Chains A and B, each alone.
Chain A
Amino acid sequence: MTVPMPGGGLKVRGLTTTFVTPRGRATVVDGISLDVAPGEIVGLVGESGSGKSITLRSIVRLVREPGKVSGQVEWQGRDLMAMSEADLRKVRGAEIAMIFQEPMTALNPVLPVRLQIEENLSAHTTLDRRARRQRALELMNIVGIPAAERRLDEYPHQFSGGMRQRVMIAIALASSPKLLLADEPTTALDVTIQDQILKLILDLRDRFGMSVLFVTHDLGVVAATCDRMAVMYAGRIVETGTVAQVFAEPHHPYTRGLLGSVPRIGAERSMLLSIEGAPPGLIDLPEGCAFHPRCAFATDRCRAERPPLERFAAGREVACFHHRTVAAMAEAA
């Protein structure tokens, strides 16, 4: 998914992450290219093991040994891949912040949240001690934590799941980031709380013009928050487009299957359009298109040759030889 973008924003080209395991070499992220424009929310969707979280981590080089990351990641004109570790530290947590699925494991359990917010402020801003205290309080208010003054001195275990995620967001916002990398930030939360956090992220984007790269498995979350989306399968992007386009007319059989797997209003107690089989292991991916063993449209060509991700309309890309047929089917249905 590449759109021309003067300056600014995030530009990922051919990002590849491999892990050498005792059972063989696993290419977890396989040549991913995507752009996030300033102020844009891009959703990266896929099922477990599709490589979406590792993509996010690879962008800021947060992949541990034996993982190897290659490719190009350009952030506001600078190449993050070529940057020294010291320079990267100034970007990570400052211009680019990250929030995770499980806030309890991301927060330090033995420090009050005030210290955890102020820690980020002292690392990435020039504020003095008093100003930091002031700013920490402001941040708690921005993310909507009631009784912020008192709660600043509490520990993470004293917060509920939704409030912990708000604290995580407050820490992330401390450095006024231009890009937020969000890894399933609402998956562990109940729907009413998820709804509040998603609305908060949308508000923050509007207020601070922040870009967001949003990793999730939940198509409902994508429909409710993202501008554009990229669908991942077995480490590769298989389809991109604006959320409205992809939902209205999926061109990849996997996207079509994913959308069909979610129950729709008005079709109660009918059979869902499921995808047979299970996602493949990343060590021995099928020859040709990785999706062909589960695909109803597969032909000999799909079994022999891997379809490249190609542009077929403005802002739309798909990696499938038969995407026209797939789209026509969706229209007929």
Chain B
Amino acid sequence: MREMPLISVEGVSKRFRFPRTASDILTGRPPAAVHALNNVDLEVYRGETLGIVGESGCGKSTLARCLVRLLEPDEGLVRFDGKDISLLRPGERRAFNRRVQMIFQDPYSSLNPRMSVRQVLSEALSVHAMRPKADIPTRITELLGLVRLPADAADRYPHEFSGGQRQRIGIARALAVEPDVLVADELVSALDVSVQAQVINLLLDLQERLKLTVVFVAHDLRLVRHISHRVAVMYLGKVVEISPTEALFAAPRHPYSKALLDAAPELDPSRRTRVAAARGELPNPLDLPAGCLFNTRCPFAFERCFAERPALSARGPAHFAACHLPDFGNPAPETIAAQ
């Protein structure tokens, strides 16, 4: 299709096992496990922003952690620049750790409360030997300028900053090592709306200037739509639809994507509806339904959906959906009918 992906996720599954209980042993059952990721395939291209969206428990954070190798997948592999990241030699691993940086959701727990901003940043700079020791103070001033924090912030401690400012410190720390990829897990969801906008603007600006590749994991569809070039919708540990942002929001091709879009409250008070977009709730991730994972809530489910799990298949240019109804949400048949 396009150039080689910078990151590719191939058939990744991740389970979190519970300790084996006495009744498991007596009945010979395998211990219960949460199926956090189920055979995920995904590609991230250089310079793009890929949004990963889904509700709680859909596996989006687990996927983000697999991308930066904070978690090892049980099956499948993640390639970075063509190489399987679980097979990297120690030197390559260090380089990978530098080139792929993660920023976490909670700005209150992701910074060491006993380290000043200067210590946080110089640690990052010296661990990866980014600058000779003498140049570190200048670089710190530069970094603070980059994330629009005052220069005197360097000698203050995390508790002296507001949530939005702490998130900027997190961004500065990630940028200190000049990464290629930023993985942002719910970057702004702990922040107030007005502060969210500041951080989003900063991220857009930095991406342009530094040619970053961004994986933006979030539950807020409006935000994901705003900043992503492409969007992947996840449900119960599976990518159910992936598409260029425009195409997905114009005509979602998976019933779950459609429900998710319809459920997000419109900002236009004149466009209210009274019909709930989706019925039911998420099934228990310990005990996934057979067939399509969405079949318990899908109004369009038919026999095949209960027997066979659909794989991602093409719906348009770079647009894929995992549904047995290839024409679901297809705007084309309607245009023909209208003529």
Contacts and interface: CB of A to CB of B under 8 A. Distances in A.
Interface of A: 47-48, 160, 162-163, 190-196, 198-199, 202-203, 217-221, 223-225, 243-244, 247, 257-265, 267-269, 271-276, 278-279
Interface centre among A225, A247, A262, A272 (most CB of B within 10 A): A272
Contacts, number: 127
Contacts of B165: 278
Contacts of A48: 192
Given A198-B265, A223-B269, A224-B265, A191 B193 contact: no
Given A190-B55, A202-B274, A272 B265 contact: no
Interface string B107-134: 0000000000000000000000000000
B274 A199 contact: yes
B267 interface: yes
Interface in B201-245: 201, 204-205, 219, 221-223, 225-227, 245
A146 to B, nearest CB: 8
A223 B200 contact: no
B197 A261 contact: yes
Contacts of B277: 192, 195
B201 A220 contact: no
A184 B277 CA distance: 20
A282 to B, nearest CB: 14
Nearest to B190: A48
A190 B192 CA distance: 18
Given A192-B263, A268-B245, A261 B55 contact: no
Contacts of B201: 271-272, 274
Given A195-B277, A195-B278, A261 B260 contact: no
B194 A223 contact: no
A220 B194 contact: no
B332 interface: no
A192 B294 CA distance: 13
Interface of B: 55-56, 162, 164-165, 192-198, 200-201, 204-205, 219, 221-223, 225-227, 245-246, 249, 259-260, 262-270, 272, 274-279, 281-282
Contacts of A194: 263, 265
Given A224-B269, A261-B197, 9 more contacts: A194-B263, A195-B265, A196-B278, A199-B274, A203-B274, A263-B223, A265-B249, A268-B226, A272-B226
Contact of A192 (B223, B225, B227, B278): B278
A79 B226 CA distance: 48
Contact of A265 (B223, B225, B275): B225
B192 A272 contact: no
A219 to B, nearest CB: 6
B112 to A, nearest CB: 22
Contact of A275 (B197, B262, B267): B197
A247 B270 CA distance: 10
A274 B198 contact: yes
A263 B55 contact: no
Given A191-B264, A220-B266, A269 B281 contact: no
Contact of A199 (B198, B200, B221, B275): B275
B188 to A, nearest CB: 11
A271 B276 contact: no
A271 B207 CA distance: 13
Contact of B281 (A193, A220, A261): A193
B55 A191 contact: yes
Closest 5 CB pairs of A and B: A220-B265, A263-B226, A274-B197, A261-B197, A195-B263
Contacts of A190: 55-56, 219, 282
A275 B165 CA distance: 14
Contacts of A257: 194
A243 B282 CA distance: 32
Nearest to A242: B269
Nearest to B55: A190
25 contacts: A162-B281, A191-B55, A192-B55, A195-B262, A196-B276, A196-B278, A217-B193, A218-B265, A220-B265, A223-B266, A224-B266, A247-B269, A258-B194, A259-B267, A261-B194, A263-B200, A263-B223, A263-B226, A264-B267, A268-B226, A271-B205, A275-B194, A275-B195, A278-B165, A279-B192
Contact of A261 (B193, B249, B275): B193
Contact of A278 (B195, B205, B267): B195
